[in-house]
A and B are shown apart, each in its own frame.
Chain A
Amino acid sequence: LAKTTQPISMDSYEGQEVNITCSHNNIATNDYITWYQQFPSQGPRFIIQGYKTKVTNEVASLFIPADRKSSTLSLPRVSLSDTAVYYCLVMIYNQGGKLIFGQGTELSVKP
């Protein structure tokens, strides 16, 4: 499994766009990039997944450059409720469901 590196923590203010970058230098051809969000006292929640270029859903956007050695999760106009830990995972799309979590990025949104 490819190792991921993310900032341990980030601070932001309400209404700002937040970009969290994840490094995965040894990503394999069959690997997908998946992001999870975990609020305090809750289990993680799937946010978004992509293979290359850009993926957007109602929650976030995921930008993946051509070399796929990094990815950026973009949260538009964050609110206090976006305060959470965000995990970047790199995994084969059809690997059997095992999720291997790295350390994650603790995002704190301030008023």
Chain B
Amino acid sequence: EPEVTQTPSHQVTQMGQEVILRCVPISNHLYFYWYRQILGQKVEFLVSFYNNEISEKSEIFDDQFSVERPDGSNFTLKIRSTKLEDSAMYFCASQGQERGEQYFGPGTRLTVT
């Protein structure tokens, strides 16, 4: 069964550094998403991506964040200058034609020290 994959599973970085989180969505899916989950809190929407552009973003997704689909298979989330409060689990999801049914990756745990 096809699945969404994410790398790395755990990333530790120092405050102020740039990080890139990578995702490989399911190959025939059209919609892509990033979410984050701060420890003990709810899953929060960050951004959605369709047809090679951002379709929607939350207030969390400020100028420090960017997304890219560089080669038609990977979907990346970049945080330019990490802050302590960026420490969280980051989930990628993709969705096919059936709107609403998203498939999630296993997540990347980002720890900012």
Partners in one complex: no
Q: Chain A interface (Cβ within 8 Å of chain B)?
A: none
Q: Chain B interface (Cβ within 8 Å of chain A)?
A: none
